[in-house]
Structure 1
Amino acid sequence: MVLDGERDVSDIRFGQALARARKRVGRTQTTLARFLGCSKGHISHIECGYRRLAEVSVAGIDEELQAGGRLVRLYGELYAPQALDWLDKLHHLQAEAEIIREYHNSLVPGLLQKPRYAAAVIAAGGPWLTTQEVEERAKTRMGRSNAIVKSSLPYLNVVLDDMVVKRPVADPLVMFEQCQYLCELAESGRIVLQFFPWDSRPHAGLNGPMMLLSSGTAPDVFHAESVYLGQSFDDPSTVRRYGMLFARLQANARPERESVRFLREVMKEYENAQ
């Protein structure tokens, strides 16, 4: 996508990420130019989105700036999108994020799903899938989520509608296990979990699920999903607006301890129903 006839959005995003990574380790444009064997002006043009960094230089720059592979992943995501479907792109964004803020009004987010819950959700949303296909997709989802949740980063701030756990998408045992897992994550401090009460108003989440991802080496991203597609936006004004919506959801949701008490009450209901 070309902006103002001169700059490409992908070039702008990578340039911003490069500048942040450079400043984080205290490098100047001059020292980076010396490393690449080019002029300071060329580095400035890359960081401002007027030039594209040559692919052969990305890995070396990533190592020089101690970016931990983030610049390499971002470059691949921005300039080779045909090789990735939207779920792959989302996974890359989640893996490089330092903070993830997520709201869902109907399901437990994929990052926080247990295997049997994930399989039930996938099967319900794709009745044309075979049992083997459902199992394969659930396995892929678990591999992606475990890699992120078991790490110290990103920080996860999650707001869920009461209906996410009150409406059973599987049998009581599966729902009990899923609620128990959420409770463990919340009580361990791995996630900040809040539930949005059924009768709380105003409801800033009526437009559906949303996710905000923040990274120290790339622009903040807003991600939204429909029934068949996910889209990500890093336009600053869009991210700010939806950041405001998420803040309102947090403000009107139950506090953390009260949310855990609510979740334990729901767990008892599923335990008694088994």
Structure 2
Amino acid sequence: MNDEAQDYASVVELFGRMVATLREAAGYRQAELGRTMYGLSATRLNQIERGTGHPPTLANAKALDATLKTGGLLAELWKHVTSRTFPAWSQPFMDLESSAREMRMYLVQVVPGLLQTEDYARAVLRMGRSLRDEAHLEERVLSRLGRQERLNGPDAPYLWVVLDEAVIRRPIGGPDTMRHQLAHLLATEHNDRISVQILPFEEAEHEGMGGSLTVLTTHDKREVAYTEGADVGRLIEDPGEVGQYAVTYDRQRARALPVGMSMDMIREAMEGLDRARFPSSAQALRLAKVQSQQLGRRSVRGSRARPRHRPRPRP
């Protein structure tokens, strides 16, 4: 086990020991607490306390806090559990993200983690170089979904997202997974705290092509920036440099389509997936004609006239 894996395991175990300590202090046995809490069996509670199985979710931590009357202690500790699921270089950003008041994001490759569906997240996270095994993949998926719970809470941040058009055109996870992901993006149209815009291909080259960018505003009105590539991220806290990145984001947003037109483009991308899966009768007829012509050409090129058998003359 490498140092990163050991660090992660130690935090999960610490969370479990804290749950056990608080449970015993409140006078509960595992089986009794499991019967008391909806959605958390005694078996699952035993896994959490031992630090085995899937890591606890934010919902688990909040439910335990409410039942054990901890004042939110476990939900606060859970932030450290989820941060250890991902590479160390991403942890400072994730800590800030968990309490940010506003988030401004520009992404060039994938939908941001806070807006990913489960299957889409699994397809994206499967590509990580730091991924250890399938169990680690599921831990990361659960952690990512747990981070999304904050979007539905009373302290939900304002989220402004600009996506390069490539994000909605690349069918990550396959057509079905991508279709559900696009539908999930469309649902944000009814959330007054979330804005999604598309930067179309027609904008050609631009200063944001180098990678993804996020500008966070904390509750004390401090701004930080975060840039990320395939296997590395950088947190920027210097006010002057953060200001430059904020201007870069504002320019990207200004060049992007308005929200309504962006939603129309997402719908068009969904329709494209549907047409590819269920072609119309005219499309099917054209495809069959093309295939027939190609087959005929291959048949002509590949055929050779067989020599006629001629009997040898008798001596």
TM bucket (normalised to shorter chain) is 0.5 to 0.7
- CA 1:217/1:202 → structure 2, altered by over 3 Å: closer, same or farther? same
**Could you tell which deviates more after superposition, 158-167 or 121-130?**
121-130
1:181-238 per-position Cα deviation (integer Å, ceiling 9, x unaligned): 0110133333111100101156231121000001231521001112222221111111
- CA 1:127/1:176 → structure 2, altered by over 3 Å: closer, same or farther? farther
Q: 2:133 aligns with which of 124, 130, 133?
A: 130
1:17-71 per-position Cα deviation (integer Å, ceiling 9, x unaligned): xxxxxxxxxxxxxxxxxxxxxxxxxxxxxxxxxxxxxxxxxxxxxxxxxxx99xx
Q: 1:94 aligns with which of 83, 91, 97?
A: 97
Q: What pairs with 1:65-104 in structure 2 (closer than 5 Å)?
A: 85-104=88-107
Match of 1:16 in 2: none
Match of 1:252 in 2: 255
**Could you tell which deviates more after superposition, 149-158 or 246-255?**
149-158
Separation in structure 2 between the aligned mates of residue 247 and residue 155 of structure 1, nearest angstrom: 15
**Preserved CA contact (<8 Å) 1:201 1:252:** no
Which amino acid in 1 is paired with 2:137?
V
- Structure 1 unaligned spans of 5+: 1-67
Match of 1:176 in 2: 179
Q: Structure 1 length as normaliser, TM-score? A: 0.65
Match of 1:150 in 2: 152
- CA 1:272/1:156 → structure 2, altered by over 3 Å: closer, same or farther? same
**Preserved CA contact (<8 Å) 2:129 2:231:** no
Q: 2:231 aligns with which of 211, 221, 228?
A: 228
Match of 1:200 in 2: 203
**How far 1:130 sits from its partner (Å)?**
2.9
Q: 1:121 aligns with which of 96, 120, 124?
A: 124
**How far 1:244 sits from its partner (Å)?**
0.7
SS of the residue corresponding to residue 192 of structure 1 reads strand
Answering whether residue 165 of structure 2 is matched by residue 167 of structure 1, we say: no
Match of 2:14 in 1: none
Separation in structure 2 between the aligned mates of residue 259 and residue 158 of structure 1, nearest angstrom: 11
Match of 1:30 in 2: none
Separation in structure 2 between the aligned mates of residue 262 and residue 101 of structure 1, nearest angstrom: 21
- Structure 2 unaligned spans of 5+: 1-70, 278-315
The structure, 1 or 2, with the larger RCO (C-alpha pairs under 8 Å, 6+ apart) is: 1
Separation in structure 2 between the aligned mates of residue 139 and residue 216 of structure 1, nearest angstrom: 26
Q: 1:238 aligns with which of 213, 238, 241?
A: 241
**How far 1:241 sits from its partner (Å)?**
0.4
**Preserved CA contact (<8 Å) 1:105 1:161:** yes
| Structure with the greater alpha carbon radius of gyration | 2
**How far 1:127 sits from its partner (Å)?**
9.3
Separation in structure 1 between the aligned mates of residue 126 and residue 203 of structure 2, nearest angstrom: 31
**Preserved CA contact (<8 Å) 2:225 2:235:** yes
Separation in structure 1 between the aligned mates of residue 250 and residue 135 of structure 2, nearest angstrom: 40
Q: Structure 2 length as normaliser, TM-score? A: 0.57
Q: What pairs with 1:53-68 in structure 2 (closer than 5 Å)?
A: none
SS of the residue corresponding to residue 222 of structure 2 reads strand
Which amino acid in 2 is paired with 1:217?
D
Separation in structure 2 between the aligned mates of residue 203 and residue 226 of structure 1, nearest angstrom: 17
